[in-house]
Amino acid sequence: MDQHIAALRATAEAVREWDERRAASEATNVAYANGLLGVARDEEAGRLAIVNYRPRGDRETRLKLAYMAAYLIATRGTLQPSQMNAVLEDTRDRPSTSVS
């Protein structure tokens, strides 16, 4: 998760730099689009690493779910059905250990 947060910050910085290059006419529209595509692919790879991560315990499962929820709320994003299933499988695989 820390790596993904760092990647998100790097993504924001890269987008800002590409915007500045484009505004200063230092980058063509094609170079700008390719640059943003590369940035988006890097972010997606980090997000998918978290989606596909198999937590090693209840604590990691809760952290993964909380992180994904916060990420989706902050970005107003969604997951594909297969990604949602991957996230939810982790909670189904573990018996509940909560104390009432």
What confidence score (pLDDT) does residue 27 get?
73
**Tens digit of pLDDT at every position of the chain (100 positions):** 666 677 777 778 877 887 887 788 877 777 777 877 887 888 788 888 888 888 888 898 888 888 888 888 888 888 899 988 888 876 665 555 554 4
For residue 60, CA distances in Å to 16, 73, 75, 90, 91 come to: 33, 20, 22, 10, 10
**CA angle centred on 49, ends 11 and 77, rounded to 5°:** 60
* Dist CA 8 CA 44 (whole Å): 10
